[in-house]
Every structure is written in C-alpha cells, then in structure tokens.
Structure 1
Amino acid sequence: MQQRVSILDGNTFLVCDRSGDVEPSFDFPTGMFSFDTRFLSTWLLTLDGERLHALSVDDAHSYQTRFFLVPGEPTHYLDAKVSIIRSRSIGGTFTEDLTVLNHSGREMRFQLRLEMGSDFADLFEIKHQRPKKGRTSAQAGENELRLTYRREAFHREAMITSSADAHVDQNGMTWSITVAAHSEWSTCVTATPIIHGARGEDVRAITALGAARGPAVIRDEQEDLVGRAPQLGCDCEPLAGAYRQSLHDLAALRYESITLGVRLLAAGLPWFMTLFGRDSMLTSLQVLPFLPELVPPTILMLAGLQGYRLDDFRDEEPGKILHELRYGETAGFEEQPHSPYYGAADSTPLFVILLDEYERWTGDAALVKQLELPVRAALHWIDTYGDLLGTGYVWYRSRNPETGLENQCWKDSWDAISYADGRLPGFPRATCEIQGYAYDAKRRGARMARLFWNDPEYADRLEREAAALKERFNRDFWIPEKNYYALALDPDGRHVDSLTSNIGHLLWSGIVDESRAALVAEHLLGPRLFSGWGVRTLATDEGRYNPIGYHVGTVWPFDNAFIAWGLSRYGFREEAGRICESMISASRYFDGRLPEAFAGFERHLTDYPVQYPTACSPQAWSAGTPLLLLRVMLGLEPQGEHLIIDPLVPEGMGRVELLDIPGRWGRVDALGRSRTPHDHEHHH
C-alpha cells in the first residue's frame, strides 16, 4: 500500500500520496474532504508534462506539509536542474504555495500544470462505490476555477484561485513561466469548500466554520491546548514521545459541528471525522485527568441529540444515545440513516458513566443537575428498549435490516461476535461488556441521584438493580468448564463461548465477582490472548482468529488501555503494568502515534508490531490511550475533594512525573518511579 500523507484541521482534511498528488481512488479516501464530502478528487502536479517525485516530505505538523520534489524518477546520481517545493496548509480553506527553483546558470522556461477535479463523493459512496445522482459542472474564470455539484437542495462547491496569472480550463490550471538563472517563481493556489444551506446561504461563511485560519492561528490554538495539559517529565523517551503526540493529535481532531458551532472530538482520520457516541465518550474518559474542558461539549451534544421516538430507519428509541452523526449527501437524502444514527447498544450506558466520572474529577455539579432528565431517560432505556427479551440484559438487533449495523457493540464488524468454532450466533445478541457498562451505569446513576437529584429512593432502586444484575450476570455468563465469561449470550440464552478481550472491560466496569477476577486476569495475560505487544481482540485458538482480522485477532490500543484500567481496579497492578509497558513499547514503532489497531502476531516472532493496513491514524481513542495508561501507572483516582495518587510504574521505566493535574482539587502533581530491576536475567 502506498504511503499516504494527511493534513487536517478539524472539519477539513486532505489525504494525498508522497508527492502531494491526489488521484481519484476508491480503495481509500484520498482527496480534500469537509463534512463528509470530497471537494477535491484530483490534484495532480506536472512540470513539462512530467510527474514529480519527492526527495523529502516535512509533515511534522498536522495542519501543514512541505514536499521537496524533482521531475522524473529519482536516482542516486540525480543532478536536477530544477526543483519544486509544495508548501501547503489547511484551516477552513486549503492553500498550496508552489515554488519552482531554477538551479542552472541560464534562464529556463517551464509549463507547470495542476490537474484539478472533484467528484463530490460522499464518504459512504467511496466506501460502497455508488454512482452520483446529481450534476457536476466546472466553470473556468480569470485565474479561478469553480467546481459545482447540485442535487435538488443539496449544493456544494469548490472554489480554486491562483495568485499568479494562469491559463484556466475546466480540468485545471497551467502556468507558462520563465525563471532566471538561480532564481525562483511562485504562486499561491487556494481551494475553498463551500457548503450551501437549505436557503442557498454558505453555511461555513455564516458560522465560524469557513473562516480561513492560517497555520499560525492553528498552531497557537493547538499549543494553547497542549500547554493546558499536565506537564510530563519521565526517563522513558517512548512514553514522553507518545504523550506529546497524543496531545497534538487530540488538538487536531477537534472539529466544529455545523449545527451547533461547538468544538467536539472527531473519532479519526480519514473515515471518522465526525461525532461518534461510543468513540467520543471513551476518548472523553481517557482525557478527563488531562483536559477536562474537552468533555462537556461532547456530553451536551449527545444529550441534545438523545433519541425521543421510535424510528426503525435510524435505530432510534426514546432515551438512546446516538452512534454516529453525518452531514453528507447520503445522510441528507436518507439513503443512509446517519442523521443521526443510533445503532449502538453501549453508547447509552456509557453516557451515564461519563457524566458521573466527569463530575468526580471536576466537581461540576451544575452539569449533573442540568442533565438529570437525559440521564434518567438513558437509565430507563437500559431496562426497556435495551432489554429486548425481558431477561434483564441489554440485547441488540437492528430495527433496520437494510442499512443498519448488525453488531452494535464496539466490535461492530459482521464477523466479530462468534462461537469458539467460528459459527455466528443469531440475533438478538447480548455481549458481555455491555452488561458490565449497564451495571456501572446503574451504580453511578445511584450516586448522582443521591448526591445531586435529591432522590434517595431512586438511588436505592438502582443499587438493588445493579446488585441483582451482577449476581445474574455471574451466573449466566460464566463458562465453568472454560473458566472465563462468555463473549455473549445468543437468542436462546446459550453461551457464545469464544475467548476475547471483552472480558477485560468487565473488570473495568466492576461486574466481575472478586473470586473470579484472578482467572480473568490470567486469561488476559495468557499466551492465547496476550501477544507481547498487547491483548488481542480474539484468542489464537478460536475458529475465526486472524492476526490481521479487524476485530478477530488484532490488538487495539484503546481496548488495552481500558483492560489495564480494569486490571488495576481489581488490584492486578503488575498485570496492568505489563500492558502499559507493551503499548508504550509498541508506540515507538509508530513514531509515537498509536494506530487504531495493529496485527496480533507474537512479539518474539516479529520484533516489532505489524501495521494493520487500513487503520485510521490519527484516531481519537488511540490518541487517548497513553493518557489513560499514565492514569493507571500513577494510580490516579478522585475521591471526594482529593486526588488519590498510588503509583506502580512498570519495571525499567524509571521516573514518571505528571505536574499540574487539573480537577476539583485545583492542580496537583504526581510522581512515580519503577522499582529497579535487581536481576534482569529471569525476565527474558
């Protein structure tokens, strides 16, 4: 797979090849995107008809990139008489400065050409390769090219301008230039995406969204965010690098919602530059100890879009929290149910968990009081629409067999939930971790009812229900002959019996009986699940195991972070530390940026973690992973007005110091250091 370079600023991003070129592609979304629409699908530079090749690429910043190019195939003995620099930045609009450098001792003439085009594809059309239903047109003007797409009231445009005189046609721009000896020539090309609202107005112009923000503004915004986070001092360079990268990626992944003008965390580039219920909430849990101010906009947005009716097309039910929100053409014309789509059974309990955890860190009682009704509605959903079979568990089955998601848990690919022999169960399904979330949500709902809503009876009821759920769950989900919890129950209440990473989330939620926690920990770090780089999604001896299968054998950093949190919750600090160590070691091989997932191969087999081909990067909950691992290693836990600090830093990691941890206590410092390895031999 060709290496790709991406550049992003919240709502707008561009993905290209190593030379900076974009050609129409359907296997992977290359081009410039904004709000789920591709505004540029062709952006191809030639000099005298020849393609260019990169000598080097500087992509240290998320919002700007620089390509150093020469014509023809690069060779070791290249003696180029001419080179080209493409400097680009993105911030509402996309800007590319083209500079042609003449290295020879005489004047030279060139034809510089930039092919331009847009198919205005919706992200879903790229994924499923559907033809367009509207009309695309191109209009050449003086030093400008306007690309337009219309389908009824859906109207999008890309406006491209050049600062230097160009010959413009419907497919791009050509510059006929003369460059003196040892001199240079340059032009600035700008491409602006325009989104027309229902009344024809430019939506981006009337909100702050379309305001062109230069690199300096974006840099200041990102630096400001990173500067507000606690300072990390540590001996372990990979940990320092991963922390730095995570903060920058989280800053870059903030995007503005068209409708509300608030800044939310998008889930990941390139497929998921939008609000996801589950991803946004799990990322919020990870960032709480570091940047708590990122959390309220997400909670409020999810509360505001909470389901209130039955809508089979969108899998909507009263009290349900959304799964995914889209702005593109297929959502607008209801060819896709994402406006918003509610097909997730775990987002609703996670909403309750996040709000409670947020209050425990920040002391923001006002938000808990403000959201009393949405939280009650979410808790009510768990017992009503969530419990499809009336057995006291949360089940899922899409109401929309056409375009609904089959699996509505975090492992949402079609083959992710299987029996040990590889068969797939029928629907509805009740996966184990969702029962854990429901248990935790009831416990936390009880705390909020007692402390903030002045409703002790409701609190008592929720606590009784939680206790009953825990007892029932430990009876019905435990597989005595295998000594672990089933991945799920099938419609007949039978065990879906494969061994998976899901059991780690059970430790995080607290639903595991103390007497069984050690067995669960043993499985998680045993050779079937633990690769040495992390816990695999599926054990190696299961029917569907594939070390490079999306949810059936790969290692997911976010998954591992929550498993580590769960292990430490039950006192398995050494085991949690092993996961922290393996993740931080893996991050070195990805330049500090943990991908969405990587292959489940044995550590001693590959010596380095193998990339998963289509993983999103950056991805929010992977960016949040080093933050949650730091919380686990330093043993950070809010209790009343205080922060408990109980460090257990994995061996060999040295000193870990986190300064200015924000919360209801003001700001405090945490320091941990690993025990020195007295004798390293027995570890290898």
Structure 2
Amino acid sequence: MAKANASDHHVEATTSLVDRTLRALKHGDLFAVFAKDGDCRGGEDGPDGLFYKDTRFLSGLELRLGGSTPLLLSSVLLDDNAALIVDQTNPDLDDEGEPWLAGDSLFIGRMKFLRHSTAYERIVVRRFETVVRSIPLEIRFAADFADLFEVRGDVRPRRGTSSAERLDERSVRISYLGLDDVRRSTTLYFDPAPAALSADSARWDLDLSDAERCTILVKVQCSIGEALSPEPPHLVSAYRLLRKGMQDRLDRVSSSNERFDVVLGRSASDIGMLLTETESGLYPYAGVPWYSTVFGRDGIITAMMLLWIAPEIARGVLRTLASSQATAIDPSADAEPGKILHEMRGGEMALLGEVPFHRYYGTIDATPLFIMLAGMYLKRTGDLETVRAIWPNIAAALAWIDSKTHLHSDGFLAYSRMAESGLANQGWKDSFDAIFHADGRLAEGAIALCEVQAYVFAARNGAAEVADALGRSAQAEQLRHQAETLRVRFEERFWDEELGSYVLALDGDGEPCRVLASNAGHALFAGIAGPERAERVSQLLTSRRFYSGWGIRTIASGEARYNPMSYHNGSIWPHDNALIALGFSRYGHKAAAVKIFESLVGAAFYDELYRLPELFCGFSRRRKRGPTSYPVACSPQAWAAAAPYALIAAATGLDIDHARDGIECSTPVLPPLLNALHLQGVGLNGSTFDLRFTKHGNEGAAHVSKVRTG
C-alpha cells in the first residue's frame, strides 16, 4: 500500500507491493489489479481492484468453495496480456471436524479478462473424485468507489453516498453518488442465476454427483452517469472481439537468445495493453496501477523509443497532446498558453479540485520534448500532413519556451510552480527532494535543469527541420541560430571541469547544483554536448559510482542525498538508462551503450514475467542474485516496456531518414548475450526491409535480407 506525500503528490511506500505477487490487466480506460489467485482484496492490503477512469469500481472479489479459500496451483498472465488464467483446487473440507471431501478432489479453473468497461470471469469446477453432496460456491464482492488518489493514500474528510440493490435473480448494482454529483455504478451479472444473491455475495450449490463439471460466468460492468449501459455481450463474444482487436505492432524482432525474445515479447504485449484509443489517436498510458492515464512526458519518451518500429504511436501522441495544449493561464493547473500537458485525470478528486490533476501542466520538459518528437517524427516518416496540422501547436510551444527564459538569470528555460498545490519539481525527477546542491540543500527559485536545456536545443533544431519542410526557411534559420546560441551558453554555464560532468541544475540565483546525476546523460541523447565532454560523461556514467551492474543510477553513490532505495536519488530507471544508451551511441561510444543493454536485459531475466518495471533499487550487483525491487514501482510501465527497443537502436546505430530515403546502421555492436538479431518489416517510404545483424568477434555486421516494395 502507499501514502501520497502531501507536498508533491508522490506515492510513498507504507506497504510494499512486492509483498504480494499482483497481476494487472488493462483495456482502454479500464484496468484491474488482482492478487495471484485472481481475487481482489483492496483496502489496506494494496491497490487490488477494478478501476475505471481513476475510480475503483470493485474493491473486493473473493471466491470461496465449501466455505474455504481454494488452494492455488498456478497463476499465468498470457504472453499477450489478453487474460489471466488461474488454476486452483479444494482444501480438505469438513463440517465440525467431520471430513466430507478430500483435498485435491476438485479442479477450479478461472479465466479473467477486460473489454471496454467490463471485467469478465469464467469459473469452471471439475470433479476428479466422487462427490456425495452439493458444494457451496460463494463469491463475495464489494465496491468502495475510492478515488485513485485515495487508494494511493490521500485521506478525504468527506465522501459521497453509496447504495446497493438487487436488480433481479441474477444481477446486483452498487452505486455511489459523489460530491461532484456524478453517479458511478458497478453492475454484476451472474450466469446461471445464483441460489442466493444479496448486495455483497452470490452463492451457488453445485451438484456434481452426476455432472463432471459446472461453469459460472461473471460480468462486472462499470458505468458513469445516470444513463446506464445495456448488459455487456456474452463472455465468448467479448473475448473473440478482444482478440480480434489486438495488434502485434512490435512483435517483429527476434534474436539468437530465447530469453531475450521473451523479454521483447513481454515488452510488446505491455505496450499493446497500455496503448489506448483516444479521440486523437493511440496513446500509451503511462503505467499500472498509479499512472493509467495520459502523461505528456511519458507518452512522448515512449513514442521516441519506439519511433523506428512503430511511428504511428508518435503520431497519436503528437495529436493527443496538441489537442490538449494549454490555451489560457490557470495557476491552479500550472497552465499557460503553449504548454504541453503533464497529466490528465478523470476521478472525483480531480474534478472537485482536491488534487490539481484534472488537466495539469506542471512539467517543464514536456513542451520541448513535444517539439523534439515532432521533428523526429517528420524525419522518420515524412508525414507532412500531420506536422502541418500541428504546426500552430509547435509555434505556440516555441513561444511559451521563449517567454519563460526571462525567469532565470542566465536566460535558460526554468520552472517555478504557480500554486502551492502543484509539483515542487517539474522535470522527470519530480520528487520534492530530487534537485539539490552538493551539501544536500534543496534548490530554490526558478530552477534550470541540465537535461531541459538539452531538450530545448534539440527542439529548436527539430522545429527548424519542420519549418524548412513547410517552406518557412527564415524561421528555420532563426531557430538554428537560437539553438547554437543556447549550446554555447549551456557549455559555459553547465559544464563543471572539477566534476568532469554537467551539473544537475542551476538554481534561481544561478548557483550550480554541483551534483553528479544521470541527467547529464540526456545531454548526449539530445546532442548538445561537445564530443570531448560527451566522452568524459560516458566514462563517468559507466564508472562504479554510477553503474551498479544493473544499470546507471539516477545519482552517483557518495552524493549528499544518495540512497539506492530512493525514488529519484539513487535508483535505476530503465527509460533513463535507455535514453542515455542512445546518447552514448550517438557519440560513437558503443561499448558503453552495449553495457547498459546487457545489464537491463539481465535485470529483466530475473523478473517473473521477464518485464522491466518502472524502476528498481540502485544497490550494486551481487553474484547469483537479481536486482532489488522498488516497493511501489508500476509494472507494467510504458517507457520501461519501450526501453528494450531503444537499446536495439542504440546497439545497432539504427537511424531511419525519410528525406534521404535511407536506413543507416552506424557501427553495429551486439551485446555478449546476442550472436544475431533480426528486425522484420522496418518501413520506409512505402517499402519494408528485413535487417539481420550478426557478430564477428567484437564487431557487428548488418545485412538486408529481404525487401518488400509497397
């Protein structure tokens, strides 16, 4: 379980999610977190439940057989994340010490999946021994309609009112009228009709004396508003439609290492599950359970890492963020014209303003990253129609960046929250204590982050390419001049010769935060670093102070606030490492990029589902042991799931340029775990290519094995 920090709205651990193995499913705006046995035990035990648009519509769902909890045999999330399959059996059953059914006499098979606003479950009970009496099977259920921020730990002084009613012999509805005057309802449908049905339980008396098996179907439908939806389709029809709608956008990579292929398969499935159809196109929701919604920064970086293989995701991200770009000043939302969204929430607390995240813009980097992605997308696809449509949004974002540089004494893009309810820090490391000085003092004033200046540099160069393509050559020249001026000033003010790296930030007085942080690696990713300094940063980030054996820490060991168990001050984030690896590759430091590749994939090998989580602890690698989990990390998390694809691009030097009509593989190098890597269906200008990379000693070679012309 977790508690939200009042000062920064972050999730603080009070009970570790690692204590219990959880299973997550998602479809659209609906997601579920189940215990390993398929039950939900929300409340003090954790974030279990069925969530729809930031509200928990089902907090409890527990199966009982003969009055006892079935024994778990296995729990499997399908490779494509379509369904959860749970196998169970009965314990020894007795009445007042008199046994009447031996253990392992019955097999209970449960299948659970989500579609649109409904959770489905099929329960099959099979007998393998003689059963002399009917067996009670009971499902207990509850709906607390807790806002996601309540589940994270916020305490509300007032809540709305709940009610429950039995609709007929096979359905029950639980409703909640919130303080926002919105009615939220959970309707449970059971087939066949239970022998007994109440507002919190359903019971069947199973007669298996003659029948070999019996089946019970459950549908849990979530509704918002007074107009209730019709009953969802039958489970079989719903599952068929679910599978029909699933696409394997990323399942086009294979290698000589079967375990690596499993990691890629899980990443592909996680991205597929987190992708959500919005009004403006596909958008990768950030992660389950805490961030299953639109996040600007997360979506952009996920799209960047997947751009070479799935550029349509970038198109959806650009369109969605353009449509939600701020157009007015709203201090409570940290909104100003031209800013790109940080986070969007649809729960009761957000709608009432109890948390500022209904549409919240308190991020300094999403705006330059948006422009940066637009330039990268145009280079990759040549899709002039899309970039022309969002050019007004790009122009507004550039204008916002220009308007904010006056906040800082050195003219850099800096942040300072507009309201006390907003985030104190507004870069990707947005914990309240993430930006500090060498002596541990927290930075104050308008803070200019190292990586944000790098993003602005890349954004202006990217916008220049877009402007050129739209025939705005004079504006393109001006943008390039601004970028070069920024590059020179950045090198002067952010480089610290004694540290041998770029400083973490400049505070409001222009005083440098002389802290060794992974942020410096993003300067390489964005291309603002000079070659000699890039080499020194590469050497530093792969040294023992940063590199744990599982990846690069957010903060070097020995810094004032270093803690390997901290969210942002010593942990290891896969997306951070993947961007740094791309930066290493950009400057030709392939050995460093491959080092990250090997360590992150090795970390995924230790996960039960071969999945990279949001983050893990930064303890040094120990023999015969995997990485140490972070207690409340999201899993799956979009930009972590995308990281292996960025690592592939980093190792192979893959660069796809529509204007040059070329695919470049610059000095490909494969990590020790791979002897061969095969990329299928890489698209360019209406054709697709199959690329094969092989290892020859320490060198890599690239081959085009097949070309298909569209």
TM range (shorter): over 0.9
CA contact (8 A) 1:432 1:477 kept: yes
1:161 is aligned to 2:189:
yes
2:614 counterpart residue number: 596
Which stretch has the larger CA shift, 365-374 or 65-74?
65-74
User: Which structure 1 segments of 5+ residues have no match?
Assistant: 679-684
Q: Structure 2: which 5+ runs fail to align?
A: 1-18, 94-101, 700-710
* Bigger Cα displacement from structure 2, 580-589 vs 647-656: 647-656
Please identify, of 384-393 and 455-464, the stretch whose mean Cα deviation from structure 2 is larger. Answer: 384-393
CA deviation profile, 1:564-621 (whole Å, cap 9, x unmatched) = 1001111111211111121122221124311111121212456322222211111110
Aligned residue in 1 for 2:639: 621
1:55 and 1:68 in contact (8 A); partners too: yes
Shifted more, 353-362 versus 386-395: the winner is 386-395
Residues 92 and 103 in structure 2, CA contact (< 8 A), matched pair in contact too: no
Q: Who is 1:682 aligned against? A: none
Indicate if the aligned counterparts of 1:652 and 1:675 stay in contact, CA closer than 8 A: no
The answer for the alignment partner of 2:590 in structure 1 is: 573
Cross-structure match for 1:408: 426
Distance in structure 2 (CA, Å) of the matches to 1:140 and 1:205? 16
Q: Tell me what 1:681 maps to.
A: none
Residue 352 of structure 2 corresponds to residue 333 of structure 1: yes
Residue 653 of structure 1 corresponds to 674
1:144 corresponds to 2:160? no
Question: Which amino acid in 1 is paired with 2:266?
Answer: Q
Residue correspondence of structure 1 range 74-223 to structure 2 within 5 A: 79-92=103-116, 93-131=118-156, 133-141=159-167, 142-151=169-178, 152-166=180-194, 167-180=196-209, 183-196=212-225, 200-202=226-228, 214-222=238-246
Q: CA deviation at 1:389?
A: 2.6
Q: Secondary structure at the match of 1:384?
A: helix
- The answer to whether the 8 A contact 1:362-1:664 is kept is yes
Aligned mate of 1:316, from 330, 335, 350 = 335
Answer yes or no: is 1:485 the counterpart of 2:506.
Answer: no
Contact 1:40/1:118 (<8 A) preserved? yes
Query: Distance in 1 between the 2:237 and 2:478 partners?
Result: 52
Contact kept, 8 Å, 1:323 with 1:343, in 2: the verdict is yes
Distance 1:364 1:342, change over 3 A: same
Equivalent position amino acid for 1:457 in 2? A
Preserved contact between residue 238 and residue 585 of structure 1 (Cα < 8 Å):
no
Deviation at 1:46, TM superposition (A): 1.3
Secondary structure of 2:69 counterpart: strand
| Aligned match for 1:419, one of 437, 460, 463 | 437
Judge which range, 341-350 or 294-303, deviates more.
294-303
Q: Does 1:444 pair with 2:462?
A: yes
Q: Which of 432, 447, 470 lines up with 2:450 in the alignment?
A: 432
Q: Which residue pairs with 1:6 in the alignment?
A: 24
For residue 313 of structure 2, give the secondary structure of its aligned residue in structure 1.
Answer: helix
Distance 2:477 2:674 in 1: 44
2:409–2:509: 8 Å Cα contact kept in structure 1? no
Shift in CA distance, 210/124, structure 1 to aligned 2, threshold 3 Å: farther
In structure 2, the residue corresponding to 1:658 is in which secondary structure? strand
- Judge conservation of contact 1:292–1:358 (CA < 8 Å) in 2: yes
Q: In the alignment, does 2:634 pair up with 1:641?
A: no
Distance 1:12 1:261 in 2: 19
1:675 offset after TM fit, Å?
A: 3.4
The answer as to whether partners of 1:652 and 1:677 remain within 8 angstroms in 2 is no
Moved beyond 4 Å, runs of 4+: 208-213
Q: What corresponds to 2:362 in structure 1?
A: 343
Contact 1:392–1:469 at 8 Å: present in 2 too?
no
Offset from partner CA, 1:382-430 (integer Å, 9 cap, x none): 111354235321111111202x111111111122222233221113211
Residue number among 326, 333, 336 corresponding to 1:307 in the alignment = 326
Distance 1:324 1:386, change over 3 A: farther
Matched letter for residue 623 of structure 1: A
Give the C-alpha shift of residue 665 in structure 1.
5.8
1:101 aligned partner, one-letter code: R
Distance 2:253 2:443 in 1: 46
Distance in 2, Cα, partners of 1:73 & 1:551:
48
User: Is it true that 1:670 corresponds to 2:691 in the alignment?
Assistant: yes
Secondary structure of the structure 1 residue equivalent to 2:645 = helix
Distance apart, 1:32 and its partner CA: 0.4
Sort the Cα spacing of 1:40 and 1:261 in 2 relative to 1 into closer, same or farther, 3 A: farther
Q: Work out the CA distance in 1 between the residues paired with 2:317 and 2:234.
A: 21
- Deviation, 1:306, is 0.6
Distance 2:119 2:186 in 1: 10
1:379–1:555 CA distance, 2 compared to 1 (3 A): same
Distance of 1:352 and 1:280 partners within structure 2: 13
Q: Is this contact kept in 2: 1:148–1:158, CA < 8 A?
A: yes
**Residue 658 to residue 209, structure 1, CA distance change in 2 (3 Å):** farther
The code of the aligned residue for 2:597 comes to C
Distance 1:261 1:68 in 2: 40
Which one of 254, 260, 274 corresponds to residue 275 of structure 2?
254
Report the 3-state secondary structure (helix = DSSP H, G, I; strand = E; otherwise coil) of the residue aligned with 1:128. coil
The alpha-carbon distance between structure 1 residues 400 and 94, as it changes in their structure 2 partners (threshold 3 A), is same
The C-alpha deviation readout for 1:92-135, integer Å capped at 9, x for no partner, is 21111222333322432122211111011110121133245211
What letter corresponds to residue 505 of structure 1 in structure 2?
Answer: H
* SS of corresponding position for 2:41: coil
The equivalent residue for 2:13 is none
Contact 2:177–2:183 (CA under 8 A) maintained in structure 1:
yes
Provide the C-alpha distance between the structure 2 equivalents of 1:38 and 1:386, rounded to a whole number of angstroms: 42
Q: Give the letter for the 1:17 counterpart.
A: A
Match of 1:59 among 57, 62, 77: 77
Distance 1:451 1:270 in 2: 41
Please give the per-residue CA displacement for 1:346-389, whole angstroms capped at 9, x wherever unaligned. Answer: 00000001111111111101111111111011011111135423
Q: Report % sequence identity.
A: 33
Deviation, structure 1 residue 638: 2.4
Q: Which residue of 2 aligns with 1:269?
A: 288
For 1:476 and 1:47, the matched residues in 2 are separated by 68
Q: How far off its partner does 1:328 sit?
A: 0.9
Instruction: Give me the whole-angstrom Cα distance separating, in 2, the residues matched to 1:157 and 1:349.
Output: 40
User: In the TM superposition, what is the alpha-carbon distance from 1:670 to its structure 2 partner?
Assistant: 2.2
Residues 261-303 of structure 1 deviation map (CA, whole Å, 9 limit, x = unaligned): 7432111111111110000000011111111122212211100
CA distance in 1, matches of 2:61, 2:693: 50
Kept in 2: contact 1:104–1:182 (CA 8 A): no
Give the conservation status (yes or no) of the 8 Å contact 2:276–2:284.
Answer: yes
Residue 233 (structure 1) aligns with? 254
Change (3 A) 1:611 1:330: same
Q: Deviations over 1:28-54 (max 9, x none)?
A: 321001111111001111123222221
Q: Which residue identity lines up with residue 543 of structure 1 in the other structure? A: A
Separation of aligned partners in 1, 2:177 and 2:235: 23
- Cα shift at 1:528: 0.4
CA distance in 2, matches of 1:262, 1:357: 18
8 Å CA contact 1:103, 1:181 repeated in 2 = no
Equivalent residue for 1:366? 385
**What CA distance in whole angstroms lies between the structure 1 residues aligned with 2:359 and 2:236?**
28
Aligned length: 663
